[in-house]
Structure 1
Amino acid sequence: MRKAAFFIDGFNLYHSLDTRKDFRKYKWLDLWRFSKLILLPNEELADVYYFTAYTDWNPDRKKRHQVYVLMNESVGCKVVLGKFLKKDRTSMVKCNKPCRSGREEFCKKKFTSHEEKMTDVNIAVNIVKAAAMQTYESIYLLSGDNDLRPALETAREISPSLRIRVVLPINAQAKTLMDFCKEHSFKYIRIKQKALSDARFSDPFTVGDTPYSKPAHWN
């Protein structure tokens, strides 16, 4: 049996499910069980890495996320946290009612947004590290992010015998990534809805003596 590991881009997966209301129920996902469903028959799951970051400015969302992380850690997943950084921006939306004159102008109001940092780098570093150390014989990358292509190329250069497969989120528009896989002989698959349905946590799901229920708006 070939030792396999999954590298999961958490926000890429989350947003692909959140874009369709009928898929939000699958956000209650047991990542370890889900990964096992994707493996080939001659592979055994050794590790699942879940890359994500907490929304510190939104306490309710952060709390739900922390519960989800706790649940997946309890079934064996390894969580690698990035972070969000504040970024000052200027609104370039055209004003409905010009603020200073009778001609149409841009709003130019200042506001603060948040950008996820480190996640792509964390994924890339861990994939290349696994290839260099020959920790696994098969690697699965769950993401539709084109920025991870150099990591896959480097992993193949370091370990030509390493089996690499890209798992595309169910709603991801990833033509560039699919073309890249074809050009470099990487296999890719798109997530099937049945795998999502079969890999959901029970509701409630208990960790230790504490039960956790799926958020109502995920139904």
Structure 2
Amino acid sequence: MQTAFFIDGYNVFYGLLAGTPYKWLDLPALLGAVVHENDPLSQVAEIHYFTSPVQPSLATRGRQSKQAQDTYVRALKARGVAVHWGRHRLDHRKAPRFVSRDVPASREDQVDIWNLEEKETDVRIGIAMYRMAAKHCWRGECDDQVQQVVLVSGDTDMTPALEAIREDFPHLRVGIIVPHRNDRERKPPGSLQKHADWMRRYILPEELEAHQLPVRVHTRKKPADKPDYW
């Protein structure tokens, strides 16, 4: 079963990789292993990775963080991953002041903040998935290039897109891989599961460790070397 993957890079980083030594993740290898576990006949056909550029002025390591992201993207491209760039928006907002967990938030006590928000990623992923379905599934069946799409995200904003795909292309198999670690207690996104044939709720640390890229990934130009602090 030929499978196309659609990855929310922000969701993967903060839900699965942040705070671990496994950021140099070999996504094609990991996803291939997970989907093969679900169905041994499944094969990786395409992988689409959606992300937005790191903002150096707001990143923990400044320009180093942006360089690390760019290096990782080059490594992914060398592994055949299609990378789609989005954007961030930085806005001035007000938010309730944090006092302690014992003190509830109050609209009467607000402070000025900068709010960094990734824009349009869920919409771009939804459109890309729907277009993929429309291209390969018609007249009640799917061609031999793609028979399954897998969303790698736990964002419930993707629910309307999955619902539309299920309604319009019932012969297309839909899977979901939630990029969460099993050491965190999180409720599975039920609205996503409702519109999927199967769902993997977490990724094990052993799986992350077993599916790392080589320290040096050769590309058509300069090699992509794993950042020292990763």
Determine if the TM-score, normalized by the shorter chain, exceeds 0.5.
yes
Give the ranges of 4+ consecutive aligned residues of structure 1 lying more than 4 Å apart after TM superposition: none
**Aligned residue among 184, 204, 213 for 2:216:** 204
Report if aligned partners of 1:166, 1:188 keep a CA contact under 8 Å in 2.
yes
The residue aligned with 2:22 is 26
What pairs with 1:28-177 in structure 2 (closer than 5 Å)? 28-39=24-35, 40-58=39-57, 59-93=63-97, 106=109, 108=111, 110-134=112-136, 136-171=146-181, 175=187, 177=189
Shift of 1:201: 0.6
**Residues 57-95 of structure 1: CA distance to partner in whole angstroms, max 9, x if unpaired?**
443222211111111001100011110011112353268
- Residues 111 and 42 from structure 1, CA distance in 2 versus in 1: closer, same or farther, beyond 3 angstroms? same
Q: TM-score, normalised by structure 1?
A: 0.82
Identical counterparts, % of pairs: 29
Instruction: Provide the rounded CA distance (Å) in 2 between the counterparts of 1:112 and 1:141.
Output: 30
**Residues 84-114 of structure 1: CA distance to partner in whole angstroms, max 9, x if unpaired?**
011112353268xxxxxxxxx8463x44332
**Aligned residue among 198, 214, 217 for 2:226:** 214
Unaligned runs of 5+ in 1: 96-104
Name the amino acid aligned to 1:166. I
Q: TM-score, normalised by structure 2?
A: 0.78
Report if aligned partners of 2:175, 2:196 keep a CA contact under 8 Å in 1.
no
Report if aligned partners of 1:26, 1:197 keep a CA contact under 8 Å in 2.
yes
Unaligned runs of 5+ in 2: 58-62, 100-107, 137-144
- Residues 89 and 213 from structure 1, CA distance in 2 versus in 1: closer, same or farther, beyond 3 angstroms? same
Instruction: Provide the rounded CA distance (Å) in 2 between the counterparts of 1:205 and 1:94.
Output: 44
Report if aligned partners of 1:3, 1:46 keep a CA contact under 8 Å in 2.
yes
The residue aligned with 1:101 is none
Shift of 1:194: 3.1
Instruction: Provide the rounded CA distance (Å) in 1 between the counterparts of 2:218 and 2:122.
Output: 31
